[in-house]
């Protein structure tokens, strides 16, 4: 339970108010509070000093008595003070444990794995899908339609989790995700497939931050890091398993099974959450739905969605579909600037009703967590997206084989994430692991930059392990940090903010890295293979490179191609290095024996 903001403000400013333990006397002796001032002053002198030390000034209006079922102001303050969550230890009795917690954790991990898998499994299926639908021009929308809805709707779902039922919001989002998967699996045209991807993305927007919120209501804060680490590790697993599984299903069954496979996982997760998660008592549960809808910033959410759409379209079009000087690119960039400016203005005016409340976002730990998550995500997605290019184009592997060769990244991310989560549970401090994670990641990213055409397995395996250890160490910590400094009301919003910036970082990095890669490829290939058109290489794809390049100039083309890939890796070096310096601004907090702050701040 948490005190209202007004009560906290009174407690913090009135030095004459008694402590919670002192007010029990007045609850047992209501008649003393009802006596006139003269009666109290007639007490014997020996007791006067003691009474002054413990008794607030009696009310001046003695004719007004509160109804029997209402507390006096002193009692109300005593109640909230007595249950001050900033100092009281976690009450383990209200959390899950044992078998129920284990099953719930498995269900949440399955959901997280499926939504992460849905974002990676499609990579190897897209060539087949474009062949079936004759829709090569729609390739960009197959990924961006999912990304648009996922990224732009996350903050809005954070507010929905704040004011509405956590369990049924999560289950509703899971159903939406499964409906989108069914539409994709049964699609008979490219537009139908794109709609399915957008619907699935809308459901996915609520599931990861919702999983973090459910963990927050089910696990004591001091034990939460290991469970958050387990959820975060699902992204690392899916990033490697996705291409392998997608290639296997596409080659041996049908690309449609890349989406049908989501249904059994989703059904298990739905049943687990429905039966094993108990909804927490919420401050706004008693309000009618209409009143709760009024507390959601629908106008701000619309402006944010439109702004993100403009930004992602600008990044997707610029340098690929159109030149950066094209009016469509500049128009979307200008539209983003105008829309995000209006959105910020709305957030400043709406205060607590805002989609991203300024009070929550500007809290030091939340702000650092969002920036750190953005930067680390940019670095991680650059590697996830371009390491397969290195193996398929430079080393000549298939899609499945390239996925197998990135298992080193998978194992190191997963193991590091779980080990660091366990260490945080033991020692309580999490900020040092942010420093460690980003520093090691930057070193690993620097080593991956040194990859060459002739690099032996020992190098590309070792470098992946180093980068994976850093990524796994840091990726889940922002979600732990924001749960330390926010109360139960603000926790869903804070989780959604971190996830929003995490997704935004991934979207930005893919577009930026692709610009770097394509522009470098156009310069490097002619340098090492004079007279050969670099556009042939770009259009051929990574796996068909050797089929379109004459053997006599292949070494030069591979050298230029390799330079383009590692140049894109510079983005990972830069963002992970900046993430290290950002992490130095994190507040020093300890999760052991500490309750989530009632005031929503540190």
Contact indicator for 271, 142 with CB cutoff of 8 Å? no
Residue 11 has pLDDT above 50, yes or no: no
Q: 130, exposed or middle or buried, with CB in 10 Å at 0-12, 13-18, 19+?
A: middle
More confident residue, 245 or 3: 245
- How many of the other CB atoms lie within 10 Å of CB of 457? 10
Confidence of residue 12 (pLDDT cuts 50, 70, 90): very low
pLDDT of residue 510: 78
pLDDT digit string, tens, across residues 534-556:
778 777 767 778 888 888 888 89
pLDDT of residue 336: 93
- How many of the other CB atoms lie within 10 Å of CB of 588? 10
Contact indicator for 203, 177 with CB cutoff of 8 Å? yes
Contact indicator for 339, 302 with CB cutoff of 8 Å? no
pLDDT of residue 498: 87
Sketch the domain layout of the chain as residue ranges: 5-82, 92-296+355-519+569-583, 297-354
pLDDT digit string, tens, across residues 175-229:
999 999 999 999 998 899 999 999 998 999 888 878 888 888 888 877 877 888 8
Mean pLDDT, residues 33-43: 41
- Give the residue from 445, 431, 446, 390 showing the smallest Cα distance to 562: 390
Cβ neighbours of residue 576 closer than 8 Å, sequence gap 6 or more: 375, 376, 379, 438, 441, 442, 445, 470
More confident residue, 360 or 2: 360
Cα–Cα–Cα angle for 207, 212, 214, nearest 5°?
90
Cβ neighbours of residue 165 closer than 8 Å, sequence gap 6 or more: 279, 282, 285
pLDDT digit string, tens, across residues 167-182:
889 999 999 999 999 9
- Measured distance CA(563)–CA(525) in Å, rounded: 9
* Percentage of the chain exceeding pLDDT 90: 21
**C-alpha of 265 from chain center:** 21
Residue 372 has pLDDT above 90, yes or no: yes
Contact indicator for 521, 34 with CB cutoff of 8 Å? no
- Give the residue from 214, 241, 304 showing the smallest Cα distance to 497: 304
pLDDT of residue 31: 39
- Give the residue from 56, 53, 98 showing the smallest Cα distance to 77: 56
Helix (H, G, I), strand (E, B) or coil at 323: coil
pLDDT digit string, tens, across residues 48-98:
444 444 444 444 444 444 444 444 333 333 333 334 333 344 555 667 777
pLDDT digit string, tens, across residues 321-368:
777 788 888 999 999 999 999 999 988 887 777 878 888 888 888 999
Q: What is the DSSP string of 4-37?
A: -HHHHHHHHH-TTPPPGGGGHHHHH-HHHHHS-H
**Average model confidence (pLDDT) for the chain?**
77
Length of the chain: 602
Which residue has tokens 């009618």? Answer: 288
Mean pLDDT, residues 473-494: 82
pLDDT digit string, tens, across residues 226-243:
888 888 778 777 877 887
pLDDT of residue 384: 82
Residue 483 has pLDDT above 70, yes or no: yes
Is the pTM higher than 0.75? The answer reads no
Q: Which two tokens stand for residue 407?
A: 């298992």
Q: Which of 33-47, 118-132, 274-288, 565-579 has the highest mean pLDDT?
A: 565-579
pLDDT digit string, tens, across residues 93-152:
667 777 888 899 899 999 989 888 887 787 667 767 877 887 656 766 777 788 778 888
Torsion 473-476-481-484 (CA) sign: negative
- Measured distance CA(547)–CA(363) in Å, rounded: 55
HSE at residue 304, side-chain half, CA atoms within 13 A, is: 25
pLDDT of residue 270: 92
Q: What is the DSSP string of 63-131?
A: T----TTS--HHHHHHHHHHT-TTTSPP-GGGS--HHHHHHHHHHHHHHHHHHHHHHHGGGGTHHHHHH
CATH assignment of 92-296+355-519+569-583, given 2.160.10.10, 1.20.1250.20, 3.50.50.60, 1.10.150.110? 1.20.1250.20
* Percentage of the chain exceeding pLDDT 70: 80
Cβ neighbours of residue 51 closer than 8 Å, sequence gap 6 or more: 40, 43
Residue 601 has pLDDT above 80, yes or no: no
- Give the residue from 503, 499, 469 showing the smallest Cα distance to 483: 499
Mean pLDDT, residues 12-31: 39
Q: 205, exposed or middle or buried, with CB in 10 Å at 0-12, 13-18, 19+?
A: buried
pLDDT of residue 70: 44
- Measured distance CA(427)–CA(420) in Å, rounded: 10
Helix (H, G, I), strand (E, B) or coil at 429: strand
More confident residue, 372 or 57: 372
Cα of first residue to Cα of last residue in the chain, in angstroms, is: 17
Which residue has tokens 């007595």? Answer: 82
- Measured distance CA(239)–CA(571) in Å, rounded: 19
pLDDT of residue 137: 62
Residue 599 has pLDDT above 70, yes or no: no
More confident residue, 139 or 576: 576
pLDDT of residue 374: 92
pLDDT of residue 312: 79
pLDDT digit string, tens, across residues 387-411:
888 888 888 887 778 778 888 888 8
- Measured distance CA(516)–CA(429) in Å, rounded: 38
């Amino acid at each position: 339970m948490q005190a209202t903001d007004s009560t906290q403000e009174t407690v913090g400013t009135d030095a004459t108010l008694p402590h919670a333990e002192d007010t029990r006397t007045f609850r047992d002796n209501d008649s003393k509070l009802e006596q006139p001032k003269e009666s109290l002053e007639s007490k014997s002198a020996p007791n006067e000093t003691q009474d002054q030390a413990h008794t607030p000034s009696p009310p001046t209006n003695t004719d007004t008595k509160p109804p029997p079922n209402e507390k006096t102001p002193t009692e109300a303050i005593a109640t909230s003070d007595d249950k001050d969550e900033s100092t009281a230890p976690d009450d383990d009795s209200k959390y899950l444990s044992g078998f129920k917690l284990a099953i719930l954790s498995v269900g949440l991990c399955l959901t997280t794995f499926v939504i992460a898998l849905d974002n990676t499994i499609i990579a190897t299926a897209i060539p087949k899908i474009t062949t079936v639908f004759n829709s090569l021009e729609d390739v960009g929308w197959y990924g961006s339609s999912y990304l648009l809805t996922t990224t732009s709707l996350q903050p809005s779902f954070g507010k929905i989790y704040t004011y509405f039922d956590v369990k049924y919001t999560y289950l509703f989002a899971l159903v939406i995700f499964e409906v989108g998967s069914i539409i994709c699996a049964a699609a008979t045209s490219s537009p139908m497939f794109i709609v399915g991807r957008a619907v699935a993305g809308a459901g996915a927007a609520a599931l990861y931050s919702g999983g973090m919120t459910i963990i927050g209501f089910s696990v004591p804060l001091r034990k939460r890091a290991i469970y958050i680490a387990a959820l975060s590790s699902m992204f690392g697993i899916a990033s490697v398993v996705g291409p392998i599984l997608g290639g296997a299903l596409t080659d041996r069954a049908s690309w449609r099974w890349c989406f049908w496979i989501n249904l059994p996982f989703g059904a298990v997760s739905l049943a687990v959450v429905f039966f094993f998660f108990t909804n927490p008592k919420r401050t706004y549960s008693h309000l009618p739905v209409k009143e709760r809808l009024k507390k959601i910033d629908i106008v701000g959410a619309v402006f944010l969605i439109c702004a993100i759409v403009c930004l992602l379209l600008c990044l997707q079009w610029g340098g690929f579909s159109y030149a950066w000087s094209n009016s469509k690119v500049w128009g979307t960039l200008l539209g983003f600037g105008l829309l995000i400016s209006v959105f910020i203005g709305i957030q400043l005016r709406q205060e607590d009703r805002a989609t991203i409340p300024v009070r929550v976002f500007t809290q030091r730990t939340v702000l650092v967590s969002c920036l750190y998550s953005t930067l680390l995500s940019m670095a991680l997605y650059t590697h996830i997206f371009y390491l397969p290019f290195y193996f398929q184009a430079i080393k000549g592997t298939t899609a499945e084989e390239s996925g197998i060769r990135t298992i080193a990244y998978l194992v190191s991310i997963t193991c590091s994430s779980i080990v660091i989560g366990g260490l945080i549970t033991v020692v309580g401090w999490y900020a040092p692991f942010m420093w460690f994670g980003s520093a090691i990641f930057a070193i690993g990213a620097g080593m991956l930059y040194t990859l060459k055409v002739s690099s032996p397995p020992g190098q590309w395996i070792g470098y992946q392990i180093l980068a994976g250890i850093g990524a796994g160490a840091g990726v889940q910590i922002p979600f732990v940090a924001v749960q330390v400094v926010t109360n139960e009301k603000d926790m869903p919003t804070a989780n959604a903010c971190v996830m929003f910036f995490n997704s935004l970082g991934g979207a930005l990095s893919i577009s930026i890295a692709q610009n770097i890669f394509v522009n470098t490829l156009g310069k490097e290939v002619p340098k090492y293979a004079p007279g050969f058109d670099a556009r042939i290489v770009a259009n051929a794809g990574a796996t068909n490179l050797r089929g379109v390049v004459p053997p006599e100039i292949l070494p030069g083309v591979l050298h230029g191609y390799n330079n383009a890939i590692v140049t894109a890796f510079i983005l990972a070096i830069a963002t992970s290095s900046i993430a290290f310096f950002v992490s130095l601004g994190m507040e020093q907090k300890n999760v052991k024996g500490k309750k989530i702050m009632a005031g929503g701040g540190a």
